[in-house]
Chains A and B, each alone.
Chain A
Amino acid sequence: DIRVTQSPSTLSASVGDRVTFTCRASQHIGNWLAWYQQKPGKAPNILISKASTLESGVPSRFNGSGYGTEFTLTISSLQPDDFATYYCQQYYSYSRMFGQGTKVEIK
């Protein structure tokens, strides 16, 4: 199975900060990586597919990049609505493994 590892597990930041999360795949996955946002008690919501394609309705402050085994999600200016947990997921293989998540907390 292709594993994906996220870092950090928790991130403390303030409104207006630029924040970056990292996702590493255990083997090459091309650009078959998605990012999700999840808020407590809710199902996840897809933000980015194919490593860098912003999904419809997702604010432009979210940016995904990377290829192969290293990927990043950047929020250019953190907004109050962005305090949540973020997950990456590879879909290169049939086993759609998720990363462990990065929780963004208010500093």
Chain B
Amino acid sequence: EVQLVESGGGLVQSGGSLRLSCVASGFSFSGYWMSWVRQAPGKGLEWVANIKEDGSEQYYADSVKGRFTISRDNADNSLYLQMNSLRAEDAAMYFCARDVGSVVTPFDYWGQGTLVNVSS
């Protein structure tokens, strides 16, 4: 059974940092791109970043470019999102999702999300 479990969310002050983690199981993690998606309260889905299977390529939404860094550790089946210089508008539920890979179907599995709150 495919599972994605996020952690690391919490309350942080504006300008602060937070590192989110996502542990994957039930599939060949190293064979898939992985993405982070966020959703502010009452708002729509916003793709944040993704990373290639071997970690050699990363792409970011303009809203987080230069502040967030996506990374992965295939030995530990783990995905990370380092968030720096956090702003009020970064407050959201953050989901990790399996992107394309040997199965060319995007975002077919999602975690339950981890909540990030940013206080001013």
Contact = CB atoms under 8 A, between A and B. Distances in A.
Contact of A34 (B50, B62, B107): B107
A55 B107 contact: no
A45 B109 CA distance: 8
B113 to A, nearest CB: 6
Interface stretch (B11-19, B23-31, B40-48): B40-48
A70 to B, nearest CB: 20
Interface stretch (B74-82, B83-91, B98-106): B98-106
Chain A interface SS verdict (over half): loop
A36 B94 CA distance: 17
Interface stretch (A10-18, A21-29, A73-81, A92-100): A92-100
A44 B44 contact: no
B106 A91 contact: yes
A89 interface: yes
Given A96-B47, A96-B50, A43 B105 contact: no
Contact of A44 (B45, B46, B50, B61): B45
A43 B112 contact: yes
Output the residue of A43, A44, A49, A87 with the most chain B CB within 10 A: A43
B35 interface: yes
A64 interface: no
B71 to A, nearest CB: 16
B32 interface: no
A98 B50 contact: no
B95 interface: yes
Nearest to B44: A101
Nearest to A102: B44
Interface in A16-55: 34, 36, 38, 43-46, 49-50, 55
B105 A36 contact: no
Contacts of A50: 104
A55 B105 contact: yes
Shortest 3 CB-CB contacts between residues of A and residues of B: A43-B110, A94-B59, A101-B44
Interface of A: 1, 34, 36, 38, 43-46, 49-50, 55, 85, 87, 89, 91, 94-101
